[in-house]
Amino acid sequence: MAVFLVDIKQMILRFFYFLATLLFSSTVVASLFDQLTLPNELQRSQQVQYSQPYQCIQIIDEFLQAQKKDTVSEVSRVSHIREKSITPSDLVLIKQQKALCYFYANNTGQAVVTLDKMLAKKTHNEPLHLRQQTLLIKSHILAQSTTLPNFQLAQETIDLVLSSIDNNTYNPTANGYFTLKIIAGEIALKLNDYQESMTLFREAQKYAAKTPLTNNAAWAAYAIGYNYQQQNKLTLAINFYNKAQQKLLDNKDTLNGLLTKKMSQAYIAEDNFKLAISFANQSAQYYQNLGNKLQLSDSLLALASMHRKIKEYNLSLVYYFNALDLLKVFDEKNRLNTVYFEVGKTYLQMGNFSLAEQYLLNAEQLFFNNGQNSLLLESLVHLANLAIQQQHYDKALARLNKALAIAGQLNNSKNFETVYLYLATAYEETDQYAKALDSYKQFVRYNKQSNFDAKKAVPVSNQHKENNEIKSQKIDQLQAQVTKLKQAKHNLIINVFLLASIVLIVLYLYYVNSQKMKLQREEVEQLEDNYNLHQNTGLNNINSLKQYIPTPLQEARFYSDWEYSDKQNSVHSCAIINLDFLQALRQKHSLSLVNKIETELGAYLLLQLNDSERLFQLNDSQLLLVRKVNKNYDPAVIANYILDWFEQFDCQLNFSKDISIGMVSHPFLFKYPTAIDSKKLLNIATLALSGATQLSQKNKQNSWVQLSALTYTQPAFFHGDVWNRSKQAIEKGLVKVTSSADKNDINWL
Render pLDDT for 87-127 as a digit per residue (tens, 0 to 9). 888 888 888 888 888 888 878 888 888 888 888 877 666 77
User: The sheet that has 660-666: what strands, in order across it?
Assistant: 613-619, 622-630, 570-578, 660-666, 703-709, 735-739
Q: How far is CA 453 from CA 192, 419, 518, 688, in A?
A: 16, 18, 79, 100
Q: Which of 333-337, 488-492, 508-512, 564-568 has the highest mean pLDDT?
A: 508-512
- pLDDT of the residue at 455: 58
> How far is Cα 363 from Cα 357, in angstroms, rounded to an integer?
10
Q: Give the range among 237-246, 476-485, 619-628, 722-731 with minimum mean pLDDT.
A: 476-485
Amino acid at 544: S
- Render pLDDT for 648-686 as a digit per residue (tens, 0 to 9): 888 877 778 889 999 998 888 877 877 888 788 888 999
Q: Pick from 625, 628, 723: which is nearest to 681 by CA?
A: 723
Q: Pick from 354, 362, 401, 365: which is nearest to 381 by CA?
A: 401
- pLDDT of the residue at 473: 47
> How far is Cα 73 from Cα 3, in angstroms, rounded to an integer?
7
If 0-12 CB within 10 Å is exposed, 13-18 middle and 19+ buried, where does residue 227 land? buried
Looking at per-residue pLDDT, the higher value among 385 and 450 belongs to: 385
Are 624 and 616 in contact by the 8 Å Cβ rule? The answer is yes
Looking at per-residue pLDDT, the higher value among 18 and 638 belongs to: 638
Farthest-apart Cα atoms in the chain, separation: 130
Residue 298's pLDDT band (boundaries 50, 70, 90)?
A: confident
If 0-12 CB within 10 Å is exposed, 13-18 middle and 19+ buried, where does residue 561 land? middle
What is the distance of C-alpha 478 from the center of its chain? 40
E strand or H helix at 207, and its extent? Answer: helix 194-208
pLDDT of residue 346 exceeding 50, the answer is: yes
The pairing of beta strand 660-666 with beta strand 703-709: parallel
Beta carbons within 8 Å of 597's beta carbon, 6+ residues apart: 585, 651, 653
pLDDT of residue 533 exceeding 60, the answer is: yes
Beta carbons within 8 Å of 29's beta carbon, 6+ residues apart: 35, 211, 213, 214, 215
Looking at per-residue pLDDT, the higher value among 452 and 749 belongs to: 749
Residue 166's pLDDT band (boundaries 50, 70, 90)?
A: confident
pLDDT of residue 21 exceeding 90, the answer is: no
- pLDDT of the residue at 663: 93
Q: How far is CA 645 from CA 163, 642, 664, 689, in A?
A: 112, 5, 20, 18
pLDDT of residue 75 exceeding 70, the answer is: no
> How far is Cα 104 from Cα 580, in angstroms, rounded to an integer?
94
Percent with pLDDT over 70 in the chain: 85
- pLDDT of the residue at 458: 47
Residue 276's pLDDT band (boundaries 50, 70, 90)?
A: confident
Are 572 and 626 in contact by the 8 Å Cβ rule? The answer is yes
Q: How far is CA 249 from CA 28, 177, 255, 384, in A?
A: 7, 20, 11, 52
| Complete domains list, the chain, with CATH | 549-745 (3.30.70.270)
pLDDT of residue 51 exceeding 60, the answer is: yes
> How far is Cα 71 from Cα 39, in angstroms, rounded to an integer?
13
Buried residues in 344-378 as b, exposed as e (16+ CB within 10 A): bbbbbebebeeebbebbebbbebbbeeebeebbbb
Average pLDDT rounded to a whole number, residues 263-279: 88
Residue 30's pLDDT band (boundaries 50, 70, 90)?
A: very low
- pLDDT of the residue at 563: 53
Q: Say if residue 667 is preceded by a cis peptide, omega within 30 of 0.
A: yes
Number of residues that this document lists for the chain = 749
In three-state secondary structure terms, 172 is coil
DSSP 480-513: HHHHHHHHHHHHHHHHHHHHHHHHHHHHHHHHHH
Are 678 and 549 in contact by the 8 Å Cβ rule? The answer is yes
- Render pLDDT for 190-243 as a digit per residue (tens, 0 to 9): 888 899 989 999 988 888 888 877 888 888 899 999 999 999 888 888 899 898
> How far is Cα 85 from Cα 729, in angstroms, rounded to an integer?
86
Average pLDDT, the chain: 79
Beta carbons within 8 Å of 407's beta carbon, 6+ residues apart: 377, 415, 416, 419
Residue 82's pLDDT band (boundaries 50, 70, 90)?
A: very low
What is the distance of C-alpha 741 from the center of its chain? 71
Write down the pTM of the prediction: 0.53
DSSP 371-425: T-HHHHHHHHHHHHHHHHHTT-HHHHHHHHHHHHHHHHHHT-HHHHHHHHHHHHH
- pLDDT of the residue at 10: 41
pLDDT of residue 153 exceeding 70, the answer is: yes
In three-state secondary structure terms, 270 is coil
- Render pLDDT for 460-507 as a digit per residue (tens, 0 to 9): 444 444 444 444 545 555 566 767 777 887 888 888 888 888 988 988
Q: Which phi-psi region, left, alpha or beta, contains residue 11 (left: φ > 0; alpha: ψ -120 to 50)?
A: alpha
The residues facing 737 across adjacent strands are 707
Q: How far is CA 165 from CA 127, 159, 160, in A?
A: 15, 10, 9
Are 447 and 424 in contact by the 8 Å Cβ rule? The answer is no
